């Protein structure tokens, strides 16, 4: 996928800010997989051959398991909203973290 100048600038600025950068080759056996760069292996910034992005943050989702045995059908992306939805202190908030 050809990145726009705006996308290129955004990923370069993110790298300058110290964010983790990932890249994947356009034409390779592993073209569908993003590689995470680290301090030992920094990007060479070849936008013609590699698509770059900021490594996504895992999503965190909260669900309420009610004291009377029912599992909540609602999920929350904010812990404060999940706490407000609790009916009692015996309700348990379960946290799910997306695996990237």
Encode pLDDT of 45-55 as tens digits.
999 889 999 99
Which DSSP category does 33 fall into? S
Same structural domain for residues 40 and 71? no
Same structural domain for residues 19 and 33? yes
Same structural domain for residues 20 and 35? yes
Encode pLDDT of 6-42 as tens digits.
999 999 999 999 999 999 887 766 567 888 998 777 8
β-bridge partners, 36: 22
Same structural domain for residues 17 and 40? yes
Same structural domain for residues 49 and 64? no
Same structural domain for residues 31 and 67? no
Same structural domain for residues 49 and 65? no
Q: What is the sign of the dihedral through the CA atoms of 93, 94, 96 and 97?
A: positive
What is the count of structural domains for the chain?
A: 2
How much is the pTM? 0.64
Q: Assess contact for 65 and 96: CB atoms under 8 A.
A: no
For residue 8, give every residue at least 6 positions away whose Cβ sits within 8 Å of its Cβ, in sequence order, or none. 47, 52
Find the domain containing 78 and state its range.
60-97
């Amino acid at each position: 996928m050809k990145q726009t100048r705006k996308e290129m600038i955004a990923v370069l600025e993110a790298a300058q800010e110290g964010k983790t950068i990932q890249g994947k080759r356009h034409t390779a056996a592993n073209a569908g997989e993003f590689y995470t760069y680290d301090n030992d292996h920094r990007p060479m910034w070849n936008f013609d051959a590699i698509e770059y992005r900021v490594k996504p943050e895992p999503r965190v989702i909260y669900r309420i398991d009610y004291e009377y045995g029912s599992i909540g059908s609602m999920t929350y992306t904010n812990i404060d909203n999940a706490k407000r939805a609790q009916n009692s202190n015996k309700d348990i908030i379960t946290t799910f973290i997306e695996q990237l």
